[in-house]
């Protein structure tokens, strides 16, 4: 299963991923069209940071998804690829999923009064956020390939200060 991984050591905090996400979820699918839409399209990931580190925080599509368990209407479901998705017509705006999400990445559409979350750009071969990241801080890789020895060695060097 491919997953979006964040490499904080590469993130510049440019927010290109946020912009690409909002544009992808706009009606026009273009930047110039999206800025003219009302209401403005919503992003589904968030670049957070401190003075030392910045990183994109996004839905992990958890195996034991607390948001999925908290959804009382069946609005949230797991698709055939294993991703937690939303049936917007079933959302009643109870916000149980927002309260249950351990990453704080489910938000609400204030106009439609429904939950908004990452759908992994399921119609695209590569999610918009990954494709837009100029520093390659967001990567789409197989879950089993990400923690290879090279990554472990990088973490060790960071901890050791070498």
Tell me: do 126 and 111 sit in the same domain.
Answer: no
Percent pLDDT > 90 in the chain is 81
H or E element, residue 48: strand 46-49
| The pair of three-digit structure tokens given for residue 71, joined into one six-digit string | 């959804």
Q: Are 117 and 105 in contact (CB under 8 A)?
A: yes
Region 67-96: what's the mean pLDDT?
96
Q: Residue 101 pLDDT > 60, yes or no?
A: yes
Q: In the 8-state DSSP scheme, what is residue 90?
A: G
Range of the domain at 100: 62-117
Structure confidence at residue 147 as a pLDDT band (50, 70, 90): low
Residues linked to residue 78 through DSSP beta bridges, in sequence order: 84
Q: For residues 22 and 44, state if they share a domain.
A: yes
pLDDT at 151: 66
Question: Is residue 25 domain-shared with residue 74, that is, in the same domain?
Answer: no
Q: How confident is the model at residue 127 (pLDDT cuts 50, 70, 90)?
A: very high
Q: 156 and 109 share a domain?
A: no
23 and 45 co-located in one domain: yes
Same domain, 93 and 131: no
pLDDT at 141 over 80: yes
CATH of the domain at 80: 3.30.70.20
Q: Same domain for 67 and 53? A: no
Residue 86 and residue 135 in one domain: no
Number of domains in the chain: 2
Q: How far is CA 21 from CA 47, 128, 146, in A?
A: 12, 6, 23
Whether residue 2 is found in the same domain as residue 47: yes
User: Residues 130, 146: one domain?
Assistant: yes
pLDDT value for 109? 95
Q: Are residues 80 and 112 in the same domain?
A: yes
Strand partners, 114: 109
């Amino acid at each position: 299963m491919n997953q979006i991984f964040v490499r904080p050591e590469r993130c510049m905090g440019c927010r290109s991923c946020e912009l690409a996400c909002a544009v992808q979820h706009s009606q026009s699918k273009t930047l110039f069209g999206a800025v003219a839409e009302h209401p403005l399209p919503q992003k589904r990931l968030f670049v957070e940071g401190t003075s030392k580190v910045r990183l994109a925080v996004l839905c992990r599509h958890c195996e034991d998804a607390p948001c999925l368990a908290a959804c009382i209407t069946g609005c949230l479901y797991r698709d055939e690829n294993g991703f937690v998705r939303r049936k917007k017509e079933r959302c009643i705006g109870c916000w149980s999923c927002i309260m249950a999400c351990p990453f704080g990445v489910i938000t609400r559409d204030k106009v439609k009064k429904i939950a908004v979350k990452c759908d992994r750009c399921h119609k695209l071969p590569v999610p918009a956020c990954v494709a837009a990241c100029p520093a390659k801080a967001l990567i789409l890789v197989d879950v089993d390939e990400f923690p290879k020895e090279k990554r472990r060695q990088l973490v060790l060097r960071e901890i050791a200060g070498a």
